[in-house]
């Protein structure tokens, strides 16, 4: 497999009024045995939460959960005593480990919040629960790939307890970036907004690509786009 495109329109969907969610992989009531994840990447939920809406306190364990806000503000509270509002540019990593409870609500009473919730299976079970949040300014991602998550937390990225490098980029028309995936590794592209060109194909908002072989990955902006690129062990 060189690459396989997962179009936005083919994703699962759940709409509860206060929440409109698109599921890249099987999640909740959406089950698709052909899309159970990719390597350690288990969930990409593209969530829009209406003003005043949110997820009441609920438990997680043995999962790395990354939240990436595109518009609005997401109010987070958890059983570690952490409370914050996540806004565009912030990357939050929560390691559920032996068990954690948290809630997520739209921080606004008048505007929606749009964010990606990403689940990555950890490399070990039973780690201590922990939380981390870092802001990455737009200029750090403009026309270049910025490492925002990694196993070793290098270059100021949040620490993910799995062999995954998570890169983010913002590309205007004609701007391009290239990333080399090493032998024995794979990748996943997720277009968070806008559109880009990849391997002769146009990718729009919500589209994903599974990359199963090593080599260069080139992304070229068509209009103002924000893209996540996962580089990971199988």
- Domain spans of the chain, in order of start: 3-232
pLDDT of 1? 55
**Which positions ≥6 away from 34 have C-beta within 8 Å?**
none
pLDDT of 59? 84
The candidate with the shortest Cα–Cα distance to 36, out of 22, 23, 20, is: 23
pLDDT of 81? 76
Task: Say how many CA atoms lie within 13 Å of 221 toward its Cβ.
Answer: 22
The candidate with the shortest Cα–Cα distance to 73, out of 133, 121, 22, is: 133
Q: What is the mean pLDDT of each run of 10 residues along the chain (234 residues)?
A: 92 93 96 96 97 83 95 85 88 92 84 96 94 95 98 98 98 97 96 97 98 96 97 92
The candidate with the shortest Cα–Cα distance to 68, out of 142, 167, 197, is: 167
Residue 206 has a CB neighbour count (10 Å cut-off) of: 19
Local structure of 170: helix, strand or coil: strand
CATH topology of domain 3-232: Jelly Rolls (2.60.120)
């Amino acid at each position: 497999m060189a690459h396989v495109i997962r179009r936005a329109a083919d994703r699962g969907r759940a709409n509860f009024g206060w929440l409109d969610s698109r599921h890249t992989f099987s999640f909740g009531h959406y089950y698709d045995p052909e899309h159970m994840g990719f390597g350690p990447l288990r969930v990409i939920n593209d969530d829009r939460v209406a003003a005043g809406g949110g997820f009441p306190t609920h438990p997680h364990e043995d999962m790395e959960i990354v939240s990436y806000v595109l518009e609005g503000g997401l109010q987070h509270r958890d059983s570690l005593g952490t409370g914050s509002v996540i806004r565009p540019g912030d990357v939050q990593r929560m390691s559920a480990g032996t068990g954690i409870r948290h809630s997520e609500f739209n921080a606004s009473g008048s505007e929606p919040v749009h964010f990606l919730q990403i689940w990555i299976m950890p490399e070990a079970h039973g780690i201590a629960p922990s939380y981390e949040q870092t802001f990455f300014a737009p200029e750090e991602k403009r026309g270049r790939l910025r490492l925002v998550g990694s196993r070793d937390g290098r270059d100021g990225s949040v620490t993910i307890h799995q062999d995954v490098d998570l890169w983010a980029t913002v590309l205007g028309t004609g701007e391009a970036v290239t990333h080399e995936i090493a032998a024995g590794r794979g990748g996943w592209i997720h277009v968070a907004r806008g559109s880009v060109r990849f391997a002769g194909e146009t990718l729009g908002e919500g589209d994903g690509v599974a990359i199963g072989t090593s080599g260069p990955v080139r992304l070229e902006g068509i209009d103002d786009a924000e893209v996540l690129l996962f580089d990971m062990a199988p």
